[in-house]
Amino acid sequence: GTKLNFGYQRNTQWMGAKVGKPEDTQFSIGFSRDVLEGAKLLNYGLDLDYMDQGGGRATVETRALPGWFNQMGGMAAFFYAHVDADNYTLRNPIATRIYADGQHQGVRANGWAAHDAGPWRTLFGTEVAHQTHTATRYGHNYGPSAVTGYWIPAVELMRASAWAEQTWRGAETTVQAGLRYDAVSMSAADLHKRGTSPVALFNSSAQELYDQYYGAGTDNDSVDHNVSGRVRAEHKLGGDALGFVDLARLVRSPDHAERYSGNGGPASMVEVGNPSLRPEVHYKTQVGSTVTGGGHRGYGRPSPAGAWRFEGSGWFDSIDDFVTIDTARGQSGVVATGGGQVYRNVDATLAGISAD
């Protein structure tokens, strides 16, 4: 029931180019930039005073090669984000004036080769990626440069991936199967940096917070070996109707915030990542159907006026080591009892239905 002023200014630029023919060799390149200013975030303690994010991507694909691998492609991409947030520019200042800045960068490159002949398509691919994430919190009521927390303590993420896919296309049925391996390494360089404010409560290092909330002796460097797999079958039901069954084992490593956040202070401001988090493992089953009409041509392709598409499905997801946000109260895996936001692994089951 509270009336709030809410708005922002946004400027977005995008440019791209594509040359070549899809059936032969095609090269594309694109860049984008998105600047958001003066964005008040409802139900959150900080607002986005300024955010500049963007990236670029270049791809090349060829589908007319001699030999068994008759198709190949590759991609190189980068992204960046710079964030300035505070709790006083867009709202009435409170006693504790907080400012935070974040820097995030990443690059990745991949390549693939495929054999596509008749009903069969076999594909192999690899990718490497590197990311860095840093965020620092300041208490401006203590001075212009008083650090009250290394929110993201200079996290570095490296990933190497390999995958294989097999597709069989029949007159009425298509079956796809895939297997993927990801090696994910994460570490943080500023774990032992302490705040510089005159209030000791804000000066804990990320490492001290991990020990306080999860117990001493936390291993902060992680290497995950994730194996995922998926099988999907589609069958034409007549007319423009299609039924599908999708079975998957999907593995996700915790992200930089879930593993390494290091915000101390009173319980209402605490956010402590958990370097000991295990990757999530999803066992997901989805069954559904898609119906189209009016000459609908599929996602991303222009369709004539009056075209339509409807999809409905039901899904069930059993998750080992789901990463959940929780409040510290001495529960399993947490030794602190005085509140504050923590992350921990739990087993979970999700199920639902959707219509689109």
Structure tokens at 119: 């009903």
Alpha carbons 230 and 283: distance in angstroms, whole number: 10
pLDDT at position 41: 82
Confidence of residue 2 (pLDDT cuts 50, 70, 90): low
The stretch 227-236 carries a mean pLDDT of 97
Average pLDDT over the chain, rounded to whole? Answer: 93
pLDDT at position 124: 98
pLDDT at position 91: 83
Alpha carbons 247 and 287: distance in angstroms, whole number: 9
Specify whether the CB–CB gap between 34 and 54 falls below 8 A. Answer: yes
Confidence of residue 107 (pLDDT cuts 50, 70, 90): very high
Q: Which residue has the higher pLDDT, 311 or 143?
A: 311
Confidence of residue 112 (pLDDT cuts 50, 70, 90): very high
pLDDT at position 271: 93
State the CB neighbour count (10 A cutoff) for residue 167: 17
The stretch 314-343 carries a mean pLDDT of 95
Predicted TM-score (pTM) of this structure? 0.90
The stretch 136-155 carries a mean pLDDT of 91
Structure tokens at 51: 């955010």
Structure tokens at 318: 């059993």
Least confident of 3-17, 221-235, 257-271: 3-17
The stretch 28-53 carries a mean pLDDT of 92
Confidence of residue 4 (pLDDT cuts 50, 70, 90): low
Residue 105 buriedness (CB in 10 A; 0-12 / 13-18 / 19+): middle
Structure tokens at 161: 């991936």
Confidence of residue 101 (pLDDT cuts 50, 70, 90): very high
Using the predicted structure, report yes or no on whether residue 300 has a pLDDT greater than 80. no
pLDDT at position 119: 96
- Give every CB contact of residue 73 below 8 A, 6+ residues apart in sequence: 59, 60, 61, 62, 111, 112
pLDDT tens per residue, range 170-181: 999 999 999 999
**Phi, psi for 207 (deg, rounded to 5):** -60, -40
Specify whether the CB–CB gap between 128 and 108 falls below 8 A. Answer: yes
Confidence of residue 1 (pLDDT cuts 50, 70, 90): low
Strand 25-39 with 47-62, pairing? antiparallel
Using the predicted structure, report yes or no on whether residue 93 has a pLDDT greater than 70. yes
pLDDT at position 142: 87
pLDDT at position 216: 87
pLDDT at position 320: 98
Cα 113–Cα 118–Cα 120 angle in degrees, nearest 5 = 50
The stretch 177-202 carries a mean pLDDT of 95
Residue 232 buriedness (CB in 10 A; 0-12 / 13-18 / 19+): middle
